[in-house]
Structure 1
Amino acid sequence: MTWRPARRERGAAAVEFALVVPLLLTLVLGIISYGYLLSFRQSLSQAAAEGARAAAVAPATSDRQAIAFAAVGSTLEATCLDDADSLTCSTATPPGCRCLEVSVSWDYAADASKPKFVFGFALPETLTYTSTVQVNQVDAP
């Protein structure tokens, strides 16, 4: 003899499935969205470090800001000076320090190429990183 569910329990599995699947899909898509965000955040941090490193090793007579922006742009495959990109770059020299700061900011909310599977909920609007390096200027003999 085979077991058969009672007549009143026939659609219970379908109802449970319909209730659980949206929650499960939201969770999975949220994990994917945050994973992509964290990966991009690491790329942005690396770009700031690359820009600062490139400017630090540049000759003292060169335009360090242009060199830093070029390094950031090549790392992220975007340009710092183009208004069409979501990327904003800046450099600064802290007072009393032979240092150079390179700041990189990305407008994550306005960038349509980045996934926002959780509909922008709890995602940052902008990602900003600053990298500081000491600039040793060697005088020519």
Structure 2
Amino acid sequence: MDRGAGNVAQRGIAAIEFALIFPIFFIVLYGIITYVLIFLAQQSLALAAEEGARAALRYTTANRGTIACNTATQLVSWLGSSGGASTATCTPVGPFTCAFPAGTTAQCITVNLAYPYAAKPLVPLLLGSLMRVAVPATLASSATVQID
């Protein structure tokens, strides 16, 4: 009985099993990496909106919204940048009369940040349009601060 012929057959089976299982493991790993980067971008947008709102507190000028947005966009400049400029957009809202507490005359300002993830994904979408169903089109965050 030739034992060498049996080992060759076993090695062939292992290669077939690997070829069948590897794509599944790769897609799962790719999905994990994609969603980790989406989560990281969302957390960065939230932090940038908060810091932008805090920056509006430091100045008493009329252009608090501009200062807040400049601060926020600097913090997310790494998102989708190819030359240092972020594709995240910032929109200041206010100052306006705060809704809470009721009957107050205090002024608030809101910083809204949005990143078009569908247009500029952080990692290429592996399955093209099929994967666009599973990832968000836009990542957004906002922060409101009382300025008076």
In the alignment, what sits opposite 2:103?
Answer: none
Q: Deviations over 1:63-119 (max 9, x none)?
A: 1111011101211127xxxxx85211111137531211110000011115x113444
In the alignment, what sits opposite 1:13?
Answer: 14
In the alignment, what sits opposite 1:27?
Answer: 28
Q: Deviations over 1:37-80 (max 9, x none)?
A: 11111111111111111012211x331111011101211127xx
In the alignment, what sits opposite 1:105?
Answer: 114
If the length of structure 2 is used for normalisation, what is the TM-score?
0.74
In the alignment, what sits opposite 1:69?
Answer: 69
Relative to structure 1, the CA distance from residue 7 to residue 54 in structure 2 (aligned partners, 3 Å threshold; closer, same or farther) is closer
In the alignment, what sits opposite 2:104?
Answer: none
| Number of residue-to-residue matches in the alignment | 129
- Point out the structure with the larger helix share: 2
Is structure 2 residue 125 aligned with structure 1 residue 125?
A: no
**What is the root-mean-square deviation in Å for CA atoms of aligned residues?**
2.7
Deviation at 1:33, TM superposition (A): 1.2
Distance of 2:71 and 2:26 partners within structure 1: 39
If the length of structure 1 is used for normalisation, what is the TM-score?
0.77
* 5+ residue gaps, structure 1: 79-83, 137-141
* 5+ residue gaps, structure 2: 79-84, 99-106
